[in-house]
Structure 1
């Protein structure tokens, strides 16, 4: 390995170290209550070291946000192998729920945590990955409409309705609100609710 390759690997390793520490602190304390010094202390480096890799903590948050959406996009990849648009929609929902349940921290970063995006110089692109995910849903909804589903609805409203339902469902779970049932059947309930939602769509939502 040459000198330039080694330096690049060391840079990537340090960025990864910073991001992992920041993600833990952001999830525990929130973005606003997490300082650069706190992140530096967590990795046992000086704050000056952090600034060699990131402009400020908002840029760190954006990097984490971007990485989280990239993992979500990768998780959605099997949908492209399905031909039928309604089957695509059903599978997309299953994958979204699975990703949220298995990656609560990433879901928090993507959809639940109050973010400082307005402070970023790149704020115009800050939700680009979110737009891409919603764009995939829109594309599938348009295919479903061509197949006779979502009659008398526009694609955007239909897509927002589907996303709102699934987001609400997993948020209830992630925020611990299913504890009101006082048993351990949360995942079973999520699956049953989603199955009912799909039947409602099939019969003319």
Structure 2
């Protein structure tokens, strides 16, 4: 490996360490309480080093936001072989919720925190939300295929897609913030052994409702 390649690998390794440290601190201490100085201390570098790679804290949050979407798209991409569009739609919902369960730190950055979107607005005002739009486009295509198969008659494709996303996002957000458990504990009909079982049961109820739209 030449000098140029070694320098590039060192640069990428350092950027990865910065992002991992930032993600850890965002989750542990909260976004507002996390500073560039704290991130630098976590990896034992000077704040100046971090500024070589990222403009500010929102730049770091947006980089993590992009990383999370890459991971989510990879998982959703595994559904390309599912021929039945309604089965694919259900699987997309389950993968989305499982992503939130397995990666609550990424999920919060991607769908709850406003800071990555603020970065996009300030630094790339000509763009809307490329990461989210790519995932939503896949959902739209699946809903459109469902409609071609007789599902959701008379309903607008975008509205069905937005409704589907809103439901799984709501369940996922309630789950990762522990609100779901507190409410579910008071509902005897949801007296199941763990939160993930509660999440699955709630999702299945939604699936049964939309399945009737055929």
| TM-score, shorter chain, exceeding 0.5 | yes
Which residue number in structure 2 is paired with residue 189 of structure 1?
198
From 169, 179, 182, the counterpart of 1:179:
182
- CA RMSD, 1 decimal: 1.8
Matched ranges for 1:17-166 at <5 A: 17-119=17-119, 120-125=122-127, 127-166=129-168
Q: Which whole-Å CA distance do the structure 2 matches of 1:189 and 1:44 have between them?
A: 42
Task: Return the offset for 1:184.
Answer: 3.7
Task: Return the offset for 1:179.
Answer: 3.2
Q: Which moved more, 1:178-187 or 1:17-26?
A: 178-187
Q: Which whole-Å CA distance do the structure 2 matches of 1:4 and 1:184 have between them?
A: 55
From 199, 205, 210, the counterpart of 1:201:
210
SS of the residue 2:34 aligns to: coil
Which residue number in structure 1 is paired with residue 189 of structure 2?
none
Contact 1:65 1:110 in 2 (8 A): yes
Q: Structure 1: state its 5+ residue gaps.
A: none
Residues 170 and 117 from structure 1, CA distance in 2 versus in 1: closer, same or farther, beyond 3 angstroms?
Answer: closer
Q: Which whole-Å CA distance do the structure 2 matches of 1:103 and 1:42 have between them?
A: 21
1:9-58 deviation line (CA, Å, top 9, x unaligned): 10011101111111112223333332211211111111111111112112
TM-score (norm 1): 0.93
TM-score (norm 2): 0.89
Task: Return the offset for 1:121.
Answer: 1.3
Task: Return the offset for 1:126.
Answer: 6.4
Count of aligned pairs: 205
Q: Which moved more, 1:116-125 or 1:68-77?
A: 116-125
Contact 1:117 1:123 in 2 (8 A): no
Task: Return the offset for 1:173.
Answer: 1.2
Q: Structure 2: state its 5+ residue gaps.
A: 187-191
Q: Which whole-Å CA distance do the structure 2 matches of 1:36 and 1:185 have between them?
A: 37
1:132-158 deviation line (CA, Å, top 9, x unaligned): 111111110111111111122111111
Q: Which whole-Å CA distance do the structure 2 matches of 1:112 and 1:65 have between them?
A: 11
Q: Which whole-Å CA distance do the structure 2 matches of 1:115 and 1:124 have between them?
A: 17
